[in-house]
Amino acid sequence: ITKLQYDKLDRLRKRIDDAHKPPQQQEVTTWLYDKSYKGLLDKVTSAQTTQQFTYDSLLRHRFTTQTALGQQFTLETTYDSYSRPQKTIYPTGLTVEQVYNQHGYLTAITDGKAQHPKTYWKALRQYSLYGLCRG
């Protein structure tokens, strides 16, 4: 049995897994929201891990730092001038870059290397400015 608790703005505040068991056997996860950034998610905490979220001046999610068993891992997201996700940098150092066409449609996902990028995913069809399929 899982119990969920929400705040007055209907945001998830607490999840209790195994709620039918005694309190010491329950798994509790809490969500905290940052009051200075208009209620953006600030931290998620459970018995084993903590996730801390950081935002830029445009309130875009930039970093997630997860702490587990005393180790920290950070995931970073960068954005292009249109606020579309541009690069995701994983704790291992792996970089994934999103490539868009002139109309703003995602056309490929690569490893982000300047010369000879490796393509992980590529759109099979091209779309026009109006969203019409061109092939």
- Mean pLDDT (the chain, rounded): 90
From residue 101, how far is each of 43, 122, 129 by CA, in Å? Answer: 35, 12, 10
The range of the structural domain enclosing residue 36 comes to 2-93
Residue 127: pLDDT above 70? no
The pLDDT score that the predictor gives to residue 86 is 97
The pLDDT score that the predictor gives to residue 36 is 76
Residue 106 lies in a domain: no
Count of domains in the chain? 1
Residue 36 lies in a domain: yes
Residue 117 lies in a domain: no
Say whether pTM exceeds 0.85: no
Tens digits of residue pLDDT in 54-80 = 999 999 999 999 999 999 999 999 999
Contact 100, 116 (CB under 8 A): no
Tens digits of residue pLDDT in 99-115 = 998 888 899 999 987 78
What distance in Å separates the CA atoms of residue 23 and residue 34, rounded to the nearest whole number?
A: 28
Q: Which pair of tokens denotes residue 84?
A: 């579309």
What distance in Å separates the CA atoms of residue 77 and residue 89, rounded to the nearest whole number?
A: 6
DSSP-assigned letter for residue 48: S
